[in-house]
Amino acid sequence: MQTADGRRQATGDRRQTAHGSRQDAENRSKEGGPSALCRLPSALCLLFVFCFLPPVSHAQETVDKMVATVNTGVRTDLITYSDLLWQLALQPNTSLANPGSDDLNRALRLVTDQRLILQEAEKLPTIAPTHDEIRDARDSLVKVFPSMTEFQQRLLRVGLTSEKLDEILEQRVRIEKYLDFRFRNFVLISQKEIADYYQDVYVPRLRKRSPGQIIPTLEEAGSEIEKTLTEAKIESDTDAFLDSARERAEIVMLSQV
């Protein structure tokens, strides 16, 4: 049975109106949470804390199975049940105890989207991640968990070795660099867009959230609004790119999750 994944998921389903997407982007920017596609992962800049993971021989035994294949004409990628467990393990506050169908299907959509972008990203050898970028990605990931111990325990539970983790992070960094190369460098936000957002969204939202607070001027809030609109535009362009990639690709389900 062939399927094309349902529309939108970026770290949750992302189909909204353009106005709503801009609001969500602003929220994510302020909350400082990890990116999506990993989304697909975002800003990578924390101090390096390296620690070897426990041997995989002590990891929980998992019976692996083939879940789906993704073929864009470049090659055919296999998605396994382990790929889904690894995706869940790298998401904080996600239970690994008997994951349900909803969690597994969300992980499947994320992994499928990652594979679709990765097949395109690998056509550009100039954006290959460096050792330092992969190291920084690991540090950023560790920081979203309560402790290094909990992080290691989650990886051990699903049999995710240090070497495999670095492979996953290498792919995520490559994806992020590809999206920057393809979309971020071409985003232009006009002063009119900033002014409209300030009047229609920024000021009303701030008044609702913090009555009586002094409202920053358009000049003071301009940089923040430009960043919000830029991220919303990149997200919208990425969504459109994934829609097109799913339509062109052959995605075959091999078993239910």
Residues 80-90 have pLDDT tens digits of 999 999 999 99
Residue 73, pLDDT score: 84
Give CA 104 to chain center in angstroms. 16
Exposure string (b/e) for 7-24, b if CB count within 10 Å is 16 or more? ebbbbeebebeeeebbbb
> Is 13 domain-assigned?
no
CATH number for position 53: 1.10.4030.10
> Is 2 domain-assigned?
no
Name the residue range of residue 200's domain: 18-253
Query: What span, in angstroms and rounded, lies between the C-alpha atoms of 206 and 202?
Result: 6
Q: Which residues contact 73 (CB under 8 A, 6 or more apart)?
A: 248
> Is 11 domain-assigned?
no
Confidence bin at 63 (pLDDT 50/70/90): low
pLDDT, tens digit, 9 for 90 and up, residues 160-203:
999 999 999 999 999 999 999 999 989 999 999 999 999 999 99
> Is 160 domain-assigned?
yes
Confidence bin at 72 (pLDDT 50/70/90): confident
The count of structural domains within the chain is 1
Q: Which residue has the tokens 């395109």?
A: 120
> Is 8 domain-assigned?
no
- CA count, 13 A, side-chain hemisphere, 29: 17
Q: Which residues contact 53 (CB under 8 A, 6 or more apart)?
A: 152, 155, 156, 160, 161, 162, 165
